[in-house]
Chains A and B, each alone.
Chain A
């Protein structure tokens, strides 16, 4: 197993989603995963900056990838939007843009070669499900989990490509390896709306609420998502969203790394469960 990675935290892990970083840092050593943060990484553009300047966005990500190449390591990120932005940049660079973009990087004495692959925590865990099983200390038996993939961990398939985008299984594989029960969940491939929460607030609240209600109908104890942006949207905005649709249901929303940590026997405190807005304490 590839167990050492150039770690791309993305803005969200260094700021709003502190519990995602805590739990990731807590589980990684137990799973034997070494994460070396990419020194000097910059924002991936967050699926927004390209609306202003696609070239600058591509240059920024070429730079991020070049930094990882210097470390001779594949890139790992937890944020699905970072994953998409980095993988899309890599595809563009590897299919014709490299030379042009390298003229910009040269100004900073950098060079993109194309030697580092980009992967996500979810994918690495899915590829090593047997290993995870062997590390589980507290199997999550009886815990009903609604797995929420989030758009950018599967779509567009041409940029992500790890598995089928209409019928993915990686997340179920991981959650089952932890001993939890995956409940049927009709909204598992829907969009949480995060990226348009400002311009399309009304629609986004409806989307968020629909996901929470679908999880509640499935009698899930929690929603789990690999993407910290989805987690933020479904957790921080859950009260607002449920108020706008006058729904009573509330469902805790965990980061993938938090769920893994629970099965590894880590404490609620180590996993930052008290930072989750919708009360997740009884899961710890």
Chain B
């Protein structure tokens, strides 16, 4: 069987085909397969990996256009998913700049993480001596998001990032902001919520790729919804995004429960767009 792998040597992009016996790789993980190819066929093939146990987050790659954590994906799963395909396309994570073959540049993502102040700013009642305690319930609330290993799988598949990253951040950045903002020990959740609002919080297109692909079963899309609700509760509700969400809510709860699209458009963007939509429809 064949693996067609995207290569990049710093200057040119090309695809290289590696032929392997299925029996040699079918019991391996996807990362095992990449290592097998590197060991037996091409020492120059470049990719990143470290822990081999879904903890370091280094081994995200794409198979047939969908992102996977390579060490956490069995080849048998891929054979099942792609109906015993005899060719797989392997490419680097999307929405990242490629450095070499399957290795990508994380610097812009780290920059975005910095924007939401990813570390805990603890309440003043906590001290070095007393520690920063929280009870089980408080811990359980954020433990799911705590699992994020910054593998970038969600970011690779994010439709909004693919369309334009200039007014958006990687899904896991919003998840990180949600996590610190909802940590019972945090001094002020808004330290983390506010920068998400000014950095694209309302631009998520609800494609749910992030939720779907995350190897840790985290839903960045739901965390984004959570951050939006927090922002609105604190009065950060100007702009078309909040107006759009609120009009659904008002219709749902206060009116007949069947939303009127024309009124919706009016509330969100003003008369001209609504009339244009109506005119287009006629």
Contacts and interface: CB of A to CB of B under 8 A. Distances in A.
Interface string A151-181: 1100111100000111100000000000000
Interface stretch (A38-46, A131-139, A247-255): A38-46
A11 B209 CA distance: 25
A48 interface: yes
A206 interface: yes
A53 B249 CA distance: 8
**Closest 7 A/B residue pairs (Cβ):** A42-B257, A191-B207, A199-B241, A203-B163, A191-B159, A52-B249, A195-B206
A200 interface: yes
B228 A16 contact: no
B271 interface: no
A57 B252 contact: yes
B240 interface: yes
18 contacts: A11-B259, A12-B261, A15-B261, A46-B248, A48-B248, A49-B245, A53-B229, A57-B252, A151-B206, A152-B206, A152-B208, A156-B219, A190-B159, A193-B205, A195-B206, A200-B167, A206-B163, A207-B163
B81 A198 contact: no
Contacts of A236: 277, 280-281
Interface residues of B, number: 51
Majority-rule SS of B interface residues:
helix
B82 A167 contact: yes
A55 to B, nearest CB: 10
A277 interface: yes
Interface in B149-187: 159-160, 163-164, 167-168
Interface of A: 11-12, 14-16, 41-43, 45-54, 56-57, 60, 84, 151-152, 155-158, 164-167, 190-191, 193-196, 198-200, 202-204, 206-207, 236, 239, 275, 277
B210 to A, nearest CB: 9
Contacts of A158: 211-212, 217
Interface string B69-102: 0000000000001110000000000000000000
Given A51-B229, A54-B225, A193-B163, A16 B261 contact: yes
Given A52-B246, A166-B66, A203 B212 contact: no
B238 to A, nearest CB: 12
A155 B229 contact: no
